Amino acid sequence: MSEAIVTGSIGDPEREPKRARVLDDTTKAAIAFAISLVVIVGAWQLYAMSGYASKLLPAPGAVAVNFFEAVRDPFYSHGDNDKGIGIHLLASLGRVAAGFAIATLIAVPLGIFIGLSPVASKAFDPYIQLLRPVSPLAWLPIGLALSKSSAITALFVIAISSLWPILLNTIYGVRAINPVYLNVARTLGTSRWNTLRHIVLPAAAPNIVAGLRIGIGIAWLVIIAAEMLIGGTGIGYFVWNEWNNLSVASIITAIIVIGAVGLVLDRLFGVLHDRVRFGE
Amino acid sequence: MTPRLSIGSVVKSYTAKKTRTTVVDRISLDVAPNEFVALIGPSGCGKSTVLNIAAGLVTAESGSVRVDGIEIAGPGPDRGVVFQNYALLPWMTVRENLAFALRSARELHDKVEIDRLIDAMLATVHLTHAAERMPSALSGGMKQRVGFARALLIEPKIVLLDEPFGALDALTRAHLQDEVLALWERRPMAALMVTHDIDEALLLADRVAIMSRGPSAVISRIIDVPFARPRRRADLMERPEFNHLRTELLAQLTHETEIIENALAS
Q: What is the DSSP string of A87-100?
A: HHHHHHHHHHHHHH
Cα–Cα distance between B26 and B24 in angstroms, integer? 7
Alpha carbons A216 and A104: distance in angstroms, whole number: 10
Does the beta-carbon distance from A189 to B136 stay under 8 Å? no
The pTM is what? 0.85
Nearest-5° Cα angle at B62, B61 to B65: 105
The model's confidence at residue B259, banded by pLDDT at 50, 70 and 90, is: low
Say if residue B64's pLDDT is above 90: yes
* pLDDT score of A8: 43
Nearest neighbour of A187 by CB, restricted to B75, B92, B136: B75
A198 at B interface, C-beta within 8 A: yes
Nearest CA in chain A to B155: A188
Q: Is A278 at the interface with chain B, CB within 8 A?
A: yes
Strand ranges of the sheet holding B219-224, from the earlier edge strand across to the other edge: B79-82, B158-162, B190-195, B36-40, B207-211, B219-224
Nearest-angstrom CA–CA distance, A278 and B222: 44
Query: Which residues in chain A come in under a pLDDT of 70?
Result: 1-21
ipTM for this model = 0.90
Residues of A in contact with B87 (CB under 8 A): 180-181, 183-184
Q: Would the pLDDT of B7 be above 50?
A: yes
Q: Is the pLDDT of residue B251 over 60?
A: yes
Tell me the β-bridge partners of B19.
Answer: B16
Closest Cα in chain A, distance from residue B71 (Å): 16
Residue B158 pLDDT level (bands cut at 50, 70, 90):
very high
The rounded distance, in Å, linking the Cα atoms of B106 and B125 is: 20
Rounded (10°) CA dihedral B84, B88, B94, B95: -110
pLDDT for position B252: 85
Chain B residues 122-181 within an 8 A CB cutoff of chain A? 134, 136, 154
Q: Does A203 touch chain B (CB under 8 A)?
A: yes
A43 interfaces chain B, CB cutoff of 8 Å: no
Task: Report yes or no: B65 at the A interface, CB cutoff 8 Å.
Answer: no
Taking all residues of chain B, what is their mean pLDDT, rounded to a whole number? 92
Q: How far apart are CA A251 and CA A239, in angstroms?
A: 5
Q: Which pLDDT score, from 0 to 100, does residue B41 have?
A: 87
Partners of A187 on chain B (C-beta within 8 Å) are 55-57, 75-77, 79-81
Q: Cβ A180–B100 below 8 Å, yes or no?
A: no
